[in-house]
Amino acid sequence: MSHGPLQGRVAIVTGGGRGIGAAIALRLACDGARVAIGDVVSDAARDRARAIREAGGTAHGDHLDVTDTSSVTAFVDEVLQREGRVDILVNNAGIAGTIASLAEYPEEIWRRVFEVNVHGVFRCSRAVLPAMVRAGYGRIVNVASVSGKEGLPILMPPYGASKAAVIALTKNMGRELASTGVLVNCITPAGVPSTGFMDWSNVPPRLVESSPAIPMGRWCDPDEVAAMVAWLVSDECSFSTGAVFDISGGRSTY
């Protein structure tokens, strides 16, 4: 695992213990990065890091609550003390919320979705940027969603709204940091059924049936998302920032 294109790089993956985040963490480690996995479920982060180490990679897992500034600061500070640098941040932590109409949506859940999906990106990015800017190098990838472009066919209004905010934040970060050596991009996957994101047993049949809306006729695989992220955080990605990279099987082509 130690001789790939990310050899010598240090990466943080939020929400990296499960689902898409776990796939991203493994791929970056396979490409040679030393990966710090943060997850609000501490055991998931540590288990994923252990599995990566057993496979020959370098990884450390610990508790990270992206809704808590002190937790974010402590996590990033610990990585900087242990590794001396942070080259890559993948803002993957996210939640779906519940299924309800806007008129009936619980305000506390609405706020929670934005705390994780949007404010978490802000907190984690703010924590790593001073070190990246000083080094003159950084790669930040924000995991948004195709729902941030075109909404959802089911009743999850804060999810689509929060992912649209992530897209807008990415564009602003990319422009602000364009001359610093820190590149900021986001990805917009279509449906990726994964552990930890939501309780799929409660999803209405029309969402399950919506995969035909994806021209490829299937869901996205977490490893496919990880492959796109791996390129975006590599040196090969050198002239794209503030950009939105689609990975939706043809569902969204803009």
Active site residues: 159
**Residue 89, phi then psi, degrees to nearest 5:** -130, 125
Task: Provide the Cα torsion 242, 248, 250, 254; round to 10°.
Answer: -20
Nearest one of 47, 73, 51, 77 to 62, comparing CA atoms = 47
C-alpha distances (whole Å) from 133 to each of 2, 128, 152, 180 are: 26, 9, 36, 6
Nearest one of 33, 41, 32, 34 to 14, comparing CA atoms = 41
C-alpha distances (whole Å) from 43 to each of 17, 30, 47, 149, 230 are: 8, 21, 6, 34, 25
